[in-house]
Amino acid sequence: MVATALVVMIWLAVVAESDRRTARIPNRLLWPGVLAVVVGGLTAPHVLIAALAGAVPYLLAFTRRWCGGADVKLGFVLGGLLAHPVAALLMVALAQVGVLIGHRRGGPVRRPHGPTLILAAVLVLAIG
């Protein structure tokens, strides 16, 4: 279990750094997580429900071009990792607070969202 958590933390750090540096998250980094959530959801349907709760708000934003497709997939994976729909929605809400704080501080209007979303998921995990 500890080894799995360590692998997931390293993976999240790689995803966040990729997005921070390039404003892109390559599919090759996201699809393994998507597959893991789908496979896990086959035996634990609440995982898929939580994944959808994490992805649907980003899917709606994606249709308005407010975020990228990678954010939709990352929301799906992180929602699945949280494994509870309310936790996934809290993650989305916290990520949006992070976006608002970032805009308030100035800087580029368009900035990578992956690191903020990952931080929000970690905060939700930390508060239990």
Q: How many domains does the chain have?
A: 1
pLDDT for 107? 62
Task: Tell me what the mean pLDDT of segment 52-69 comes to.
Answer: 96
**Residues present in the chain in total:** 128
Per-residue pLDDT tens digits for 83-120? 999 999 999 999 999 888 877 777 666 688 999 999 99
Task: Round the average pLDDT of the chain to a whole number and report it.
Answer: 94
Q: Does residue 3 register a pLDDT over 70?
A: yes
List, in order, residues 6 or more apart from 101 with CB less than 8 Å away. none
Q: What is the model's pTM?
A: 0.93
pLDDT for 101? 85
pLDDT for 102? 79
Q: Give the domain range for residue 107.
A: 2-127
Q: How large a percentage of the chain has pLDDT more than 70? A: 96
